[in-house]
Structure 1
Amino acid sequence: MRTRQVFRSTGRLADGREIIYYDESPDTGRAEVADRRPLPPFSSGSQLRYDPLLDEWVTLAAHRQNRTFLPPPDECPLDPTRGDRLSEIPAGDYDVVVFENRFPSLAPAPAPPEPAADDDPALTARPGAGRCEVVCFTSDHSASFGDLSPERARTVVEAWADRTEALGARSDVAHVYPFENRGIEIGVTLQHPHGQIYAYPFVPPRIEAMTEAARKHRAATGGNLFDRVVADERRAGTRIVTEGEHWTAFVPAAARWPYEVRLFPLRRVSTLAELDTAQRDELARMYLDLVRGFDTLFPQPGEGTDPPTPYIAAWHQAPVAPDGTPDGEFGLHLQLFTLRRAPGKLKYLAGSESGMAAWINDVAPEDAAERIRTALPSQAAAAHPTDSKEQR
């Protein structure tokens, strides 16, 4: 894949929200296209409430109840604006675009009046300041991430890295989390291929736990926990799904989800912004391979096409200090997983998982690794080189 230069331009939507175009050609003029919608000024009423029993923050975002829910294809707000069909993207076309969410869980805004301690002694609250962004991978409403070209996937990687750096530099942000929810089983409310980025004002529990585990490992062994996990999985070999010059993907030995892959760079970095050009280039190809493999895990006999596999793609990055410096002990990695455990069957988070956070997996990680490995297009191309031209 030839590395492409990405051209970044910034505009404003009718209500003042920021929109950023990541174009593969220069001087498109898309950021200058005006948003013609009569929107009221943007505001949000998010609040953080502290749970003392778990030592965690919970976000209250009641204003999101009225967000857009599964509109018909011809009314999707993530499509480009065409004629009188106005959307969140004013331009008539785009490559990759990022904009502030119209219905964010977190956003800088005047906070509602806080109850005095005497009125509610059980409540500890603060404003839900932060930022939530939408990342549209393509203007093609009917596509998915797996349909992207390697060049377009590379543009998405550039957008992730750029937003990670920009959001991580904010004084009110403690962690930047790019992710994609795919499928109505996950709870997706807009079908257009897109992901999101949350800039949290606190360190999320999962990242906090990893950071603490890494700190303990360093104190006990003098080594880095993430490096050890990757090295141990590579030595074991049985759960490796695919490897490249710069990345390795494996099913973790203690996988929680029926089909789950962790993708790590072989040279440890803390955030997407720290990846070098070679790492970004290979990431675009390898990530596409994994997503396309997931798409073929659960074929439906007799229907001719495979149903989309619901998945969550979650980027785990280092927490950042108030000065914007990421924790260098943390190892960036992707967690890609599906809650589908078999054709027509989902993995429900029932009493043990939801009530106790004690996970029970229905599929042996070694079996899952074998199934995912054989589903990858790159494996099929290697097994049948004469058919490689037919691969996407």
Structure 2
Amino acid sequence: MKKTSNRLADGREIVYYDTRDDAVREAVDQRPLDPAAPGATVSEIRFDPLLAEWSAVTAHRQSRTYHPPADECPLCPSRSGRFTEIPERDYEVAVFENRFPSFAGEPGATRADGPQGLFAHRPGAGRCEVVCFTADHQASFADLTERQARLVLDAWTDRTAQLSQLPGVAQVFCFENRGEEIGVTLGHPHGQIYAYPFTTPRTARMMRSAAEHRERTGGRNLFDDVVDAELADGSRVVLAGSHWIAFVPHAARWPYEVHLYPRRRVPDLTALDEAERAEFPGVYLALLRGFDRIFGPGEPPTPYIAGWHQAPVAAAGARGEREEFALHLELFTVRRAPGKLKFLAGSESGMNVFINDVPPEAAAQRLREAASE
């Protein structure tokens, strides 16, 4: 893999990843963009004392690009006088700082305002990046070759390593949203990476559960035990490789939801070995292509969210806690049947109690069939 770092017209970083060592990436961003003014991108995080969770307030994101025509896509290469976020005329994988980030800037002190200091807030430090998987606007991740998918994995890994070193970053989340039903506003195949200034609530909850399990079982690891239990049961296993295992979780919340784990527990993408990296593209592409066949021929591509759950960075917690966490990818769709979506209504949005219309065992059976078609 060859990595080339350049700058866009307003000073944001763009990084190209290529499979060829002789690839040259020297194109200059010719757009008349002014350097970002101090304070133009303002993100603030606020603490909810009832839930003990942080949320972000980002007023500048109201003006972000929204459903542009295909011939004005900002993620396509720059060609024939039409300049985009990617100055090159072609690329394999390109990663750049988001123009409208949810988190940006340097960390700052927490202020606790209001009676009893209940209104805690601080700058929403961190970084948000866009990952363009391919220059082909009409493609999707499932259309990539295994070589291309491996390059994306290498890019995710490199970005995880780089972003984990930034001041104030507590966790790195690589993810893809696909489909307008999910809320995607740019149709080009791409994902994002968030470098959060706190450990996310979902990860913190998993780590608490793992600590309680370890205490209750005399030192056993919860993630290992869950994977072993799913393998022993077998009814929800979708794919099983030499180094990766994919299954529908016993208590799946979404109609079709798959968790993909390396068989060897590692805390994040940087800890995968070469054998695990080599097998990942084939397993993941089979899952994504199966997702597109769930609902039968003639149905539009399945909307989905796919995200890597990684341990908080070393500076955010004790080393022992990081080593107890298990890297895994969660993939799910909001479509529950042809032409029908799973909406997060009263119970899900109001009380965080999910109600799933598709039994996990039935979902696993359909996914096994679809992955092998």
Q: TM range, normalised to the smaller chain?
A: over 0.9
Residues 237, 51 of structure 1: CA spacing in aligned structure 2 closer, same or farther, 3 A cutoff? same
Q: For each residue in 1:225-245, what CA deviation from the matched residue of structure 2 results, as whole angstroms up to 9, or x when unmatched?
A: 100000000000010001000
Moved more, 318-327 or 81-90: 318-327
**Deviation for aligned residue 1:144:** 0.3
Please state if 1:315 is matched with 2:308: yes
2:279 corresponding residue in structure 1: 282
Number of corresponding residues: 367
**Deviation for aligned residue 1:24:** 1.1
Residues 41, 369 of structure 1: CA spacing in aligned structure 2 closer, same or farther, 3 A cutoff? same
SS of match in other structure, 1:215: helix
**Deviation for aligned residue 1:109:** 5.7
Q: How does 1:205-284 map to 2 (within 5 A)?
A: 205-221=201-217, 222-284=219-281
1:3 corresponding residue in structure 2: none
Q: How does 1:13-162 map to 2 (within 5 A)?
A: 13-30=8-25, 32-42=26-36, 43-108=40-105, 117=113, 122-162=118-158
1:169 corresponding residue in structure 2: 165
**Deviation for aligned residue 1:171:** 3.0
**Deviation for aligned residue 1:215:** 1.0
Moved more, 317-326 or 158-167: 317-326
Q: For each residue in 1:64-111, what CA deviation from the matched residue of structure 2 results, as whole angstroms up to 9, or x when unmatched?
A: 010000100000000001121000011110000111000000011698
Contact 1:79-1:89 at 8 Å conserved across structures = yes
Please state if 1:361 is matched with 2:339: no
TM-score, normalised by the number of residues in structure 1: 0.90
Q: For each residue in 1:159-188, what CA deviation from the matched residue of structure 2 results, as whole angstroms up to 9, or x when unmatched?
A: 011111111122311100000000000000
RMSD: 1.9
**Deviation for aligned residue 1:220:** 1.6
Q: For each residue in 1:341-368, what CA deviation from the matched residue of structure 2 results, as whole angstroms up to 9, or x when unmatched?
A: 0000001111111000011111100000
Q: Percent identity?
A: 59
Runs of 4+ in 1 over 4 A off after TM superposition: 113-116, 118-122, 323-326
Residues 370, 27 of structure 1: CA spacing in aligned structure 2 closer, same or farther, 3 A cutoff? same
Q: Structure 1: any 5+ residue segments left out of the alignment? A: 1-5, 381-392
Please state if 1:337 is matched with 2:332: yes
SS of match in other structure, 2:89: coil
Contact 1:45-1:109 at 8 Å conserved across structures = no
Distance 1:172 1:140 in 2: 35
Distance 1:120 1:89 in 2: 49
Distance 1:296 1:356 in 2: 32
Distance 2:203 2:324 in 1: 12
The amino acid that maps onto 2:34 is P
Distance 1:64 1:374 in 2: 41
1:384 corresponding residue in structure 2: none
